[in-house]
Amino acid sequence: MKKEEVIISQGNRPFWHNIMAAFFYTVAVFCVIFFFFNFEFSLNSEYAVRQLDYIDIGAFALSGAFYFSLIQTYYFDFKKKMYKHESAYLIFRLGKWKEMPLLEYISVFKKEEGLYEVNLWHLGNKHFKIYEMFDEDEAMNVGKKLATTLQIDLLDATVANDSKWIDL
């Protein structure tokens, strides 16, 4: 029996991601503080460039903090035939419910050296990237659990040009 609702989420970030995000947030805040405390109106171009360096470093740090704070979640409601891809950043959540396409199969493939991706394919040769990980066994386990939960097929594409369907 197919479940009526399925949630696929990155869940909580690992502890080291939280540490990295905190570090980048701290750098960004200090760059803004240094910018405003050292700000003077000047026509000297060297001074202006030095001041803009604080903004550049702060923007870089903020993008790093954003990367380590973002959580992706997919919601599937089979009863209403709707899905939502939600991006959560701190307390902000973005995403809207859309009509669900016909789901075809799950694939696990080797994207690059040591990186495996789990995708949920739907009608029209399109897919949702559900998960990325560095462990092939973990990727296959996630693929098997999803395929079993959604009652669809699983394609093992971890070996280039040698894809095979997995019996569940």
Report d(CA 46, CA 52) in Å as an integer: 10
pLDDT score of 3 more than 80? no
**Per residue in 42-70, pLDDT tens?**
666 676 667 778 889 999 999 999 999 99
Report d(CA 120, CA 4) in Å as an integer: 17
pLDDT score of 13 more than 70? yes
pLDDT of residue 41: 67
Q: Kindly write down the DSSP assignment for every residue of 89-142, as one continuous string.
A: ETTEEE--EEEPPPEEEEEEEEEETTEEEEEEEETTTEEEEEEEES-HHHHHHH
- Residue found under tokens 């001074």: 47
Those residues whose C-beta lies under 8 Å from the C-beta of residue 121, and which sit 6 or more positions away, are 103, 104, 105, 106, 107, 127
State the average pLDDT for the chain. Answer: 85
Do 109 and 34 form a contact (C-beta atoms < 8 A)? no
Lowest mean pLDDT among 8-17, 92-101, 158-167: 8-17
pLDDT score of 1 more than 50? no
pLDDT score of 33 more than 70? yes
Alpha carbon separation from 91 to 37, 71, 94, 146, 156 (Å, rounded): 29, 11, 10, 28, 37
Q: How many beta carbons lie within 10 A of that of residue 65, not counting itself?
A: 22
**Per residue in 111-134, pLDDT tens?**
877 888 999 898 878 888 887 888
pLDDT of residue 44: 65
